[in-house]
Chain A
Amino acid sequence: MKDILIMIILSGLVLFAVISVMIRSLVKAAIALAIASAFLAVMIFILGAWIAAVIELSVCAGMITVVFISSISLTIPLSKEEVAVEAKQRMSRFIYLPFILVLTLAAAIILWNSRLINFDFISALKGTQVNLDFSAQGSAIWDKRSIDILGQVIVLLSGAFGVVVLFKERNQK
């Protein structure tokens, strides 16, 4: 059952990641990316790192989507004529995608069978249990990785500052 759940989540992650790259509408691409991040957050939660899952959900699926949509709001949409011309050329860019997918799958199968790269961590997933000992995880992060928490706060500060610097003056205009 857990294997099926993991396969569904991983499939959803890959599917929405591909959609975010291929879809024409920028807003829909941003939303697809947010959904892909949400699937990733669920995967991280199943692997037992619930704090990382919360950060993935809030920052990547939340704040990043806000930043993307804010920047998209500053763009000028194409006219109908420009859309028609662009639509004809657009799909030709993805003509090589099936070949790349086949090559990647073939490479993955060859690597898996040759054991050239150690994939043991996948079988380790089967024994994973969600650890809900919040105090132990929080203590582990604060005591051993506290500098990373400070760094994450500074990253968020610089991201917020960037939005203010790049967007605020435009609104005032």
Chain B
Amino acid sequence: MQALFIIIPLLAVLILNLPFRKSYRRIAFYLAIVVTFFQIAMTLTSGFMLWINITDLFKFNFITQLSIDLFTLVVLFTIGLIAFVSLMVCRFSYKKDPFNFINLILIAMMGMNGIVMTRDIFTLYVFLEITAAASFILIAMDKGIEAFEGALKYLILSAVATIFILTAIALTYFSIQSLNFGDIGSYLKGLNGRYPPNITAAVILFLTGLSIKAGVVPFHGWLPDAYMSAPAPVSVFLAGIVTKVAGVYTLMRLTGEVFNNIPFISSVLMAFGALSIVIGALAAIGQSDFKRILAYSSISQIGYIILAAGIGTPLAFAGALIHFFNHASFKSLLFVNSAAVELQTGIRDINKLGGLAGRMPVTGGTSIVGFFSTMGMPPLAGFWSKLIIIVAAWASGYYIYSIIALLASVLTLAYFLILQRKVFFGKIAEGLENIKEANFGLSFPAILLAAISVLLGLVFPFIIYYFQANWLLKLVL
């Protein structure tokens, strides 16, 4: 069954690129939507039990090399959801032919699905490269100077990260003779804190490489330019899921499963997390570009996830996982809102906007949900994940980190209030009097993501019970 998450998007790409494919261009969008629906349905329902019987007929060797647990399921669902949103934004707002974008989204989905299902560090590297390659091309698709600059910065820093990760894999294999997460974790546990220089170097290189991929401070230099210069649907996709899967998920998985016995990793991750929370928020306050503010906000919110991963307790990890999903949904919502504003007004400079809430009520209303959820306002979804992270930090004795995470919400409130005031409230800006609401393709995803933030926040206590129910775990796993 696991292999279907890679094979289905691959088949879709191959079908769309067969000879005489001009006739397939018309169905490309619908085929891609079906693939995302398939992924969402498979992760949500018990229907995939049926697929296990079907795929038994196909003896794919690599089925045994992939595995799915609850963490993977949540991320697979998130990938499907954000890919669906990005496709909608592209179909209804991207002025150029969306065919190439659709193909690249499907390739990136394959890469990300492989990242979350593998338990082997070399396979992880291969799928990281698939995701990175698709991302470079997506950022550069518009072929403008800004787009190439953003793609080049991402490419260069990603190449540096790749060198670090590959070197770490080589050092690990040389020392341990295995690339499996479980084998490496057992070996490190058996060392009882006496780590040879090879292993220490490998761990440091892994941390550095993955921190670059995640856009964590101080390795975040590429992120604002890449998010800002990419076309709107690409920004939704990158900010919503790509950076989180390629960097944040991988850090969480390796920290939890492989490096969980190494104390200094915890300290480093918590420090990086706290730095990202504060510096991301402070940098966002000084920005005037809508997307750039959201990019720095992403750095700040990713810092919460990294902080929780560094704390490492089960409660902290649960908070990290929930914030992973929440951030994917509310950040994608905010980038959809920025796409709507940019499409309707042609402006991203918040100093030249104003009073749009009356002209674009859906965009304005959903942006408020996104902002409040980012800030951690109850009863929205973002409140619960931030609360869990802050409580986990306090309960583990990391009082300073807990206070930093709490006070940073004030900074978040500051830059989002500035953004709301300048873009959606106040007097309507000159020349924007005849602006109308964005089309269905941008309004529907915004309403969907806002509804998810609200509903998830309201039913959160029941969801915790749902995931803890043993009968469900047995069914799902």
Interface string of A95-107 (1 = CB under 8 A from B): 0000000000000
Task: Answer yes or no: B282 CB below 8 A from chain A CBs.
Answer: no
| Cβ-neighbour of B123 out of A148, A158, A162, A165 (below 8 A) | A148
Stretch of A10-18, A27-35, A40-48, A113-121 with 4 or more beta carbons under 8 angstroms from chain B: A113-121
Q: Does A150 contact B (CB under 8 A)?
A: yes
CA distance A143 to B61 in the complex (A): 6
Within 8 A of A (CB), among B117-160: 118, 120, 122-123, 126-127, 129-130, 133-134, 136-137, 140-141, 143
Interface of A is mostly: helix
A87 at the interface (CB under 8 A from B): no
The docked-state distance in angstroms from the alpha carbon of A157 to that of B106 is 12
Collect the chain A residues with CB atoms within 8 Å of residue B66's CB. 147
Q: Interface size of A by Cβ–Cβ distance < 8 Å?
A: 25
- Find out whether the CB atom of B143 lies under 8 angstroms from the CB atom of A155: no
Are B65 and A147 in contact (CB-based, < 8 A)? yes
The one of B118, B129, B133 in contact with A162, judged by C-beta atoms closer than 8 angstroms, is B133
Residue pair B104, A165 in contact (C-beta under 8 Å): yes
Q: What chain A residues lie within 8 Å of B118 (beta carbons)?
A: 147
Q: Are B137 and A161 in contact (CB under 8 A)?
A: yes
- A112 within 8 Å of B by Cβ? no
CB of B46 within 8 Å of the partner chain: no
Partner pick for A150 among B6, B13, B120, B196, CB 8 A cutoff? B6
Chain A, 77-134, CB within 8 A of any chain B CB? 116-118, 121
Which B residue sits closest to A115, measured CB to CB?
A: B197
Q: Is the CB of A151 within 8 A of B133?
A: no
B232 cross-chain contacts in A, Cβ below 8 A: none
Whether the pair A161, B130 counts as a contact (CB closer than 8 A) is no
Q: Are A118 and B126 neighbours in the complex by a CB distance under 8 Å?
A: no
Q: Is A152 an interface residue (CB 8 A)?
A: yes
Given contacts A154-B10, A154-B107, contact A147 B123 (CB under 8 A): yes
Q: Are A118 and B198 in contact (CB under 8 A)?
A: yes
Given known pairs A154-B107, A161-B104, the reply for A117 and B130 (CB within 8 Å) is no
Task: List residues of chain B with CB within 8 A of the CB of A170.
Answer: 143
* In contact, B137 and A158 (Cβ under 8 angstroms): yes
A159 close to chain B: CB less than 8 A: yes
- Bound CA span A154–B130, Å: 7
- Residue A146 is within 8 A (CB to CB) of chain B in the complex: yes
Q: Is the Cβ of B10 less than 8 Å from the Cβ of A121?
A: no
Cα distance A116–B199 when bound, in Å?
A: 12
A residues in contact with B103, CB < 8 Å: 161
6 closest A-B pairs by beta carbon, nearest first, are A151-B126, A147-B62, A146-B61, A162-B137, A158-B133, A147-B65
A-B contact pairs, 23 of them (CB 8 A): A116-B197, A117-B197, A117-B198, A121-B174, A146-B62, A146-B65, A147-B62, A148-B123, A151-B114, A151-B129, A152-B126, A154-B10, A154-B110, A154-B111, A157-B13, A158-B107, A159-B133, A161-B107, A165-B104, A165-B141, A166-B137, A169-B143, A170-B143
A145-B122, A147-B61, A161-B107 are known contacts; what are 8 more A-B pairs with Cβ within 8 Å? A117-B201, A143-B61, A147-B66, A154-B107, A155-B133, A158-B137, A165-B104, A170-B143
